[in-house]
């Protein structure tokens, strides 16, 4: 068993322990439909989570969104945000960053499917005061695997007691935000 196999199994175990009645995992046809609608491939680990754990409903706080609708979903939220950015002088949502959960107050966690490690980004629109949206984007984790490990360990900035810890690692500004927002990718 590889480290990623072990991680997926640990996520599945935690998801089952935390939730009664998890949604069923999606099949390959649903993954392909989602990727067709998104216009990009899902990060491989993200696809495995939906294929092997559940169609959302697990993870920190508000839990991962389902892959496809009805209602709020990864595909629906991505397409809505990208449509709002199309042709805008100051696009708010970069191509390839799929929202996987909402933190509430219009904040999202997103996986950068164009990065090899699947960086997890935080979109926090409250600093926006006109102009570029770049200061609303933060790097939460260098990889989806590391983000999941943080959730499993209960050490994320989003944990209820996070502010009381000396070792808290908060999201930092996403250095690629300006370039990715202006390039459309």
Query: Rounded mean pLDDT of 84-104?
Result: 93
The model carries a pTM of 0.94
Confidence band, pLDDT 50/70/90 cuts, at residue 160: confident
Averaged pLDDT of the chain: 93
The strand pairing partners of 120, in sequence order, are: 111, 141
Distance in angstroms (rounded) separating the CA atoms of residues 34 and 67: 7
At residue 170, the 3 state secondary structure works out as: coil
Domain boundaries, the chain: 3-183
Confidence band, pLDDT 50/70/90 cuts, at residue 185: low
Residue 71's alpha-carbon distances to 68, 101, 122, in angstroms, are 8, 13, 22
The strand pairing partners of 172, in sequence order, are: 139
Structure confidence by residue, pLDDT tens digits, 36-56: 999 999 999 999 999 999 999
Domain with residues 3-183, CATH architecture: 3-Layer(aba) Sandwich (3.40)
Dihedral over alpha carbons 144, 179, 177, 131 (to 10 degrees): -150
Spatial contact of 177 and 171, defined as CB atoms under 8 Å apart: no
> For position 170, what pLDDT does the model report?
86
Q: Is the peptide bond before 183 cis (omega within 30 degrees of 0)?
A: no
């Amino acid at each position: 068993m590889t480290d990623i196999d072990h991680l997926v199994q640990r996520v599945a175990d935690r998801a089952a322990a935390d939730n009664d009645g998890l949604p069923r995992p999606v099949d390959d046809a649903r993954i392909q439909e989602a990727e067709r609608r998104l216009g990009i491939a899902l990060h491989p680990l993200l696809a495995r989570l939906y294929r092997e754990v559940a169609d959302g409903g697990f993870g920190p706080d508000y839990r991962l969104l389902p892959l496809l609708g009805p209602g709020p979903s990864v595909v629906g939220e991505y397409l809505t945000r990208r449509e709002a950015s199309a042709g805008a002088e100051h696009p708010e949502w970069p191509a390839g960053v799929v929202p996987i959960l909402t933190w509430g107050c219009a904040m999202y966690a997103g996986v950068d499917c164009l990065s090899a490690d699947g960086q997890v980004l935080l979109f926090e629109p409250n600093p926006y005061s006109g102009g570029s949206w770049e200061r609303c984007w933060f790097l939460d984790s260098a990889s989806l695997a590391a983000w999941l490990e943080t959730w499993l360990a209960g050490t994320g900035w989003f944990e209820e007691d996070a502010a009381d810890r000396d070792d808290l690692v908060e999201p930092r500004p996403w250095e690629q935000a300006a370039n990715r927002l202006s390039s459309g990718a």
